[in-house]
Structure 1
């Protein structure tokens, strides 16, 4: 079944997201390790067949092809707890989970930029594609995940061309630079200082140069400014020259993501300055925002595109999303009958091969070849109508009826050929599917906390979630699902750089 977990700017503070995403690059490996640990403990087969992890400044989402929804969610929560260094109970409060129809709906809105901080921005589609390709190269995708994301990429392209909304396909960096230009009254004669050398630094510099900015200096807390400046035609700022560079800059693009490295005293004599604070883990001390003459624009200040629900472009975009969700659903229904059709073809053509072999023992040469071609053409025509009928039944929601009829008429055991039974279970419909959650729900209400190694005695999925400890409850404000800022810090060795 298809399942997903999500944690995003829509319901979390950005510093909470920063804490969750620390170590997210290792999530696939940790999920694999946890599966191996649990399999070794109880002798069970892997719960998750494939996964795609999307980790950006604004979201951490994991898309799963899993046999058991609750165990799959449970395993991902454990994995995020391990990679981030946060308490498991805290992690479960920060994630929503869902399965089946709500999953493609959400993903296609994400890829199309409809759930971005800057509505309609184009960066997210590229980030999702990179995440999918990384999973594919790592052998962590399945046919269902492949279908899911391919429909999503087509959806994003259609939205961008047919229903541009908000940023209309521009990047978040472009929107940020435009906002800075409004504050500055234009970029003519503007001096820019860039803090960091990562993706936002590159995108921001490209946008500034498109607007005619030529005086650009770069400072890197990690010492990478030299190579960046050489590649992009900027000037390097040494550590001992940072304060002077800040005083001389009209615009500071702060995006290293290394944590607080710019302090109020460095801006005291800066005069009128606009600061774009674009790192998820802010470079700025909070007091910088309160200095006279300093205008700080952070990620939360760049929200764009709160279009009315009646906006024609937004309505069209959502219709495109709905069309692709339905196309994905139909494709999966058709895939359910593929084992039946494969089994039928195998039976028919195996019988034909036997007869053709017998024919060639009595007839040889060109005559035998012509007879074989005729037999195969006839079989192809005979098989065409059942195949088309099967596809039509699947598309209109009658796949179960077709599979049952197939069993009755041909007596072929489809499940033995690797297919699924009428109820979507590997046992041909004898077993029961897990209850389907109604839409998205917070993960702590979906999965009771388990120990790191699941045993058979703990497999009761109906148990109520254990209450939070007093310490955890004191650190987590439920606010209807939103976690507060600064609820926990990762160990020092896990605090990496995004410079």
Structure 2
């Protein structure tokens, strides 16, 4: 049985998501060790969702409830928060609803910025992490690989590519109405990971040329050298913050990388900040609802979860903070809806996954039936040899007859599997031949998923 616990921007606020994201590191390994009936577990943690996918391989009593409570309790311990708060933050999906949900998530149809590109890579990396930790399973491998295939298919659909947006691009659209000329904007990019690369691409698309990069981990020089950017050293960080019109923070580390003291310290060093963003706007460029925006000298964008920027930066005169919560409030969901064709692709992918799952679940019964008939044929061939009636022709004819007799039962098995009636087939084998078929044991190997871009 497949089970998914999902906390996202749709059912939880960013404060609890931030806390939960810090409590799922190493969760899969600990849950697997504690609950022997769990066959596999994969954890997906992004900037606006925390999800746990579980493969329960033993039909324990109330398996779904037992697994759910066990995972929730472990997350509460790891995150250091009350169990009730964790329980309230998660929605649950089971069986084929899990497949549909993950296919939609991986394709960006459930993202804060509908159709975003980055989520597919994050889902793939979650599977790779589970592999490295030894917590995946054959069913979860197949589920996540089908999700990757579905997301690639949707990305290639005409009309859907245009809807694909990243949070970085969405944030820049919210800034755009105050920009007369992007070429005049001084930008400081804080971070060198995948989100930094996406953000840099979005800035370049708008013609931004004055871009500096800073990394608390010391990777700024290498990142900047490859992209012809200015690298900021640690001792120049505060000054670079004060000198920038737009600061975009997108790191994955714990703790704040920017606070009010850093901004004030930098301004003292460079002698204040010359305002580029001076005009108020009456309407958010990506929202149908009016948004009141104060005149700003400087805009700081926080794309991190956990938060990269201490909210106290707004106590500094002229600083405006644009964080994930603000982006969520003003995201035009209807404008970013994927096409109906994308929804149809997800639906077809779920049906195919369900069909293959049912057939795989029934495979042991089909093997058992075939072995039953072949064993009887082997017994008869052995008797023929004992009586001296054996010949290659009769042996071949007898085995061919077994194959002919098995053809219709095998076809019927696949039909019942696709209809979700596999249990009837197992019951019939038990009633007719006394065959008791146990649950399948996964013994497949899977190719490594492609690296995220």
TM-score (norm 2): 0.78
The answer on 1:298 being equivalent to 2:323 is: yes
Q: Quote the offset at 1:148 in angstroms.
A: 2.6
Q: Quote the offset at 1:348 in angstroms.
A: 1.9
The partner residue of 1:233 within 228, 232, 240 is 228
- Where do residues 50-61 of structure 1 align in structure 2 (5 Å cutoff)? 50-61=40-51
Q: Identify the residue that residue 346 of structure 1 maps to in structure 2.
A: 371
The partner residue of 2:258 within 258, 261, 283 is 261
Call closer, same or farther: CA 1:132–1:357 in 2, change over 3 Å.
farther
Q: Identify the residue that residue 445 of structure 2 maps to in structure 1.
A: none
Call closer, same or farther: CA 1:376–1:189 in 2, change over 3 Å.
farther
The partner residue of 1:393 within 413, 416, 423 is 416
Pairs aligned (count) = 403
Whether the aligned pair in 2 keeps the contact of 1:225 and 1:236 (CA below 8 Å) is yes
Whether the aligned pair in 1 keeps the contact of 2:46 and 2:305 (CA below 8 Å) is no
- Where do residues 73-88 of structure 1 align in structure 2 (5 Å cutoff)? 73-88=68-83
Q: Quote the offset at 1:386 in angstroms.
A: 1.6
The partner residue of 1:281 within 280, 291, 306 is 306
Gaps of 5+ in 2: 277-297, 442-453
Call closer, same or farther: CA 1:191–1:333 in 2, change over 3 Å.
same
Q: Quote the offset at 1:178 in angstroms.
A: 4.7
Whether the aligned pair in 2 keeps the contact of 1:252 and 1:276 (CA below 8 Å) is yes
Q: Secondary structure at the match of 1:188?
A: helix
Call closer, same or farther: CA 1:164–1:106 in 2, change over 3 Å.
farther
Q: Quote the offset at 1:286 in angstroms.
A: 2.4
Q: Identify the residue that residue 185 of structure 2 maps to in structure 1.
A: 190
Superimposed CA distance per residue, residues 288-331 of structure 1 (whole angstroms, 9 cap, x where no aligned partner): 4466654433223435451179x7x5433333323333333333
Gaps of 5+ in 1: 36-45, 421-499
- Where do residues 301-340 of structure 1 align in structure 2 (5 Å cutoff)? 301-303=326-328, 304-307=331-334, 313-340=338-365
Q: Identify the residue that residue 29 of structure 2 maps to in structure 1.
A: 29
What is the alpha-carbon distance in structure 2 between the residues aligned to residue 373 and residue 173 of structure 1? 68
The partner residue of 2:93 within 94, 98, 121 is 98
Whether the aligned pair in 1 keeps the contact of 2:311 and 2:321 (CA below 8 Å) is no
Q: Identify the residue that residue 380 of structure 1 maps to in structure 2.
A: 403
Superimposed CA distance per residue, residues 26-83 of structure 1 (whole angstroms, 9 cap, x where no aligned partner): 1112213433xxxxxxxxxx12111111111111111111241122112211221232
Whether the aligned pair in 2 keeps the contact of 1:119 and 1:166 (CA below 8 Å) is no
What is the alpha-carbon distance in structure 1 between the residues aligned to residue 353 and residue 66 of structure 2? 25
Q: Quote the offset at 1:186 in angstroms.
A: 4.2
What is the alpha-carbon distance in structure 1 between the residues aligned to residue 375 and residue 308 of structure 2? 68
Call closer, same or farther: CA 1:383–1:77 in 2, change over 3 Å.
same
Call closer, same or farther: CA 1:285–1:337 in 2, change over 3 Å.
closer
Q: Quote the offset at 1:201 in angstroms.
A: 2.0
- Where do residues 409-428 of structure 1 align in structure 2 (5 Å cutoff)? 409-415=432-438, 418=439
TM-score (norm 1): 0.71
Superimposed CA distance per residue, residues 177-233 of structure 1 (whole angstroms, 9 cap, x where no aligned partner): 454455423432433211223332232224334544443222223444333333443
Whether the aligned pair in 2 keeps the contact of 1:166 and 1:307 (CA below 8 Å) is no
Q: Quote the offset at 1:124 in angstroms.
A: 0.8
Q: Quote the offset at 1:22 in angstroms.
A: 1.1
Whether the aligned pair in 1 keeps the contact of 2:243 and 2:273 (CA below 8 Å) is no
Superimposed CA distance per residue, residues 117-171 of structure 1 (whole angstroms, 9 cap, x where no aligned partner): 1001111111111112332344323333233323323332333233755962343
Whether the aligned pair in 1 keeps the contact of 2:32 and 2:41 (CA below 8 Å) is no
Q: Quote the offset at 1:271 in angstroms.
A: 1.7
What is the alpha-carbon distance in structure 2 between the residues aligned to residue 374 and residue 179 of structure 1? 76
